[in-house]
Every structure is written in structure tokens, then in C-alpha cells.
Amino acid sequence: MPEIVCVRGDITEAVVDAVVNAANSSLLGGGGVDGAIHRRGGPEILAACKELRAGPYKAGLPTGQAVATTAGRLPARWVIHTVGPVYSRQEDRSHLLASCYRESLRVADELGAATVAFPAVSAGVYGWPMDDAARIAVTAVRDTPTSVSEVRFVLFTDDALAAFTAVAG
């Protein structure tokens, strides 16, 4: 099981092997974490995503799945893009949110990444309640067999940091 670290900060500044991007299914950039990673990482990330769209992900990346690209100008080596589910009170989509973390760790293992930084996937514009997002994220990381030695949750707000720290211990 990897060491779990929770910090407040900007994920685009994380010095790790792989940064996880809370992407939209188009893989072509967006708002929030996705937009920040594309802006800071530069055109290399968008070019790599366009190649994925021309190949195996013509219809976009499915929710709960993950795929890697270069990190461009980020201090990380790779960006692992994952598409989180939109929160719904009518339908339990927690398995899809957990899958984002499991699949990202699987991709990290394939890359040989020892350190991975995650944002709070789906807890921004996708509306997932922060406490629940934190519980699902930390549980999924703890329950996923991986060779990653450190998972760093890089949270943008004090509230997010408090929620993740409370669950991670």
C-alpha cells in the first residue's frame, strides 16, 4: 500500500512521476484542474490527447477509465487523464469514482511511476460532495494493489484538505 499524503496546493506544481488530471471525456481540455493542467503543461499535452482521439478514443475516454500522455512543461513525467462521474442523488455512481483511482494507479504501474499526485476527482464542477469524494478516493487507493510508493492528494482548498486529511488519518 502506498504512503498517502494530503497537501494543499496547485497540482500543476507537484514534483511527482505522474499527475492525475480530472479530465472531461473529450480529452481536449476544459475548466478546473483539466484547464490548469493543459495551460501549464503546454501544447504537448493537447497534441498527445488529439492523437488519442484520432486512435483508440475517437468517442472520448469513458467515465472511470484512465490513459496517460506526456506531461509537457509540468514538473511531472506523465499526465494520467481520468474522467470522473457527475454526482447524482438519483443514481449511485460511487463505483465509477472509485474506478478513476484504481484505473489511474493501474496506468501508473504500467508506466513505472513511483509517485502520483491526485486532485479531488469529481468534487469540483461535477458536484460530488467533498467528504464523500474523499472517503471514496482514499478507500480506493488503500484497496488497490499497486507498486506506487506515494499517493499525494493535492487539494486546492482548505475544506478539501480537511476532508481528505480526516479520512486519510
Q: Which domains does the chain have, with CATH numbers?
A: 3-168 (3.40.220.10)
Residue 34 annotated as catalytic: yes
pLDDT at residue 67 in the model: 98
User: How far apart are alpha carbons 19 and 104 in whole angstroms?
Assistant: 10
User: How far apart are alpha carbons 60 and 52 in whole angstroms?
Assistant: 9
In a 10 Å sphere around its CB, with 0-12 CB exposed, 13-18 middle and 19+ buried, how is residue 132 labelled? middle
Mean pLDDT, the chain, rounded, equals 97
Q: Which of 17, 34, 92, 131 is catalytic?
A: 34
Residue 140 has a CB neighbour count (10 Å cut-off) of: 22
At residue 161 the predicted structure's pLDDT band, cuts being 50, 70 and 90, is very high
pLDDT at residue 89 in the model: 95
pLDDT digits (tens, 9 = 90+) for 10-28: 999 999 999 999 999 999 9
- Angle at which helix 130-143 crosses helix 158-168, to 10 degrees, equals 40
pLDDT at residue 9 in the model: 98
